[in-house]
Every structure is written in structure tokens, then in C-alpha cells.
Amino acid sequence: MIVCGVFFIALFFLDEILMPWYVNQRATVTVPDVVGLKKEDAVRILEALKLEAREGDTRVDAQYPVGTVAAQNPFPQQVVKQDRRILSDHQRRRTDGECSCPAR
């Protein structure tokens, strides 16, 4: 009986005190909109905010010039912890025979 009581007290301490303290250690930051920027500019902006810039996929999208960020995850204006990875898809040239039509 005493062992169960100690177990539940320890569980309560971990869940209600220790975990919230640990989770709230790092500061939060609002994710900037880097879509449409050159890859180098996007990386510089993200790193200045202590976010980790990671390259995602490359895509063909007529809306953005080659070498720019065509999409990002998480989306702009989301609040995240510092050191969060921000994935950005980059625009590339279309190869011969490749369609830029949306996938179905």
C-alpha cells in the first residue's frame, strides 16, 4: 500500500511539476514566411531566429523562380520552440518530358 502511494506521488510530481518545467525551458518564436525567398536568404533568416533550417524536397512550380523556397513546414506565423527544424521545399528547373501539372 505504501509503495502504491509513493508511486502515485512520484507520478504526480513528474507529470505536474517536472515535465511542465522541462517543456517550458526553451523560448518560443513565431515562424517567419520564407516562401518565395532565395534559399540562402531563407536560411539566414531562420538561423537568426535560432531555428534549424532543413532542406526538404525539390519541386517544379511555375509560381516561383528556380532556387527559391516554394513551401515550408511548419507554416508561417506558427509559434514553435527555438531550435525547431523548419523544412523548406525548393524550386528547381523542369526536366525534359516532366509535367508541372498537379498530382492527382
Domains contained in the chain, number: 1
Q: Is 15 contained in some domain?
A: no
Question: CA-to-CA distance for 36 and 4, rounded, in angstroms?
Answer: 57
Asked if residues 90 and 60 have their Cβ atoms less than 8 Å apart, the reply is no
Task: For residue range 57-94, list pLDDT tens digits in order.
Answer: 888 877 888 889 988 999 999 999 888 888 888 777 66
Global model pTM greater than 0.85: no
CA 39 – CA 58 distance, rounded (Å): 12
Question: Could you tell me if residue 66 is inside a domain?
Answer: yes
| Domain span including residue 54 | 27-91
In a domain, 84, yes or no: yes
Q: Is the pLDDT of residue 51 over 90?
A: yes
55 in a structural domain = yes
Could you tell me if residue 62 is inside a domain? yes
- The answer to the question of residue 79 being in a domain is yes
Q: Could you tell me the CATH number of the domain that includes residue 84?
A: 3.30.10.20
Residue 45 domain-assigned?
yes
